[in-house]
Structure 1
């Protein structure tokens, strides 16, 4: 059993990097532009969540 703190050697981080998240947004946008309603819906949901977070922070 590994009792070392942190993630095991060779295992990827659970939290994606900022660049990875940006690439996911670009992928969603590309799919939405191609007519994927699910991708468009997720973009709308993410935008709404972001707006609510900004309003709460003020």
Structure 2
């Protein structure tokens, strides 16, 4: 039984892409939304995936 009233609401906000400094490596990267502060390179590292503090 699929009920649309129980689905997660979709935001109607349009986020502007912005260049930010990664909080881990400090390199500039294009952030897709305001809460994205770690670059894809750092997020793909083993240390990040395993939750090891830097």
Q: TM-score range by the shorter chain?
A: under 0.3
Larger radius of gyration: 1
TM-score norm. by structure 2 comes to: 0.23
Q: Which structure has greater helix proportion?
A: 1
Bigger relative contact order (CA 8 A; separation at least 6): 2
Q: Which structure has greater strand proportion?
A: 2
TM-score norm. by structure 1 comes to: 0.22
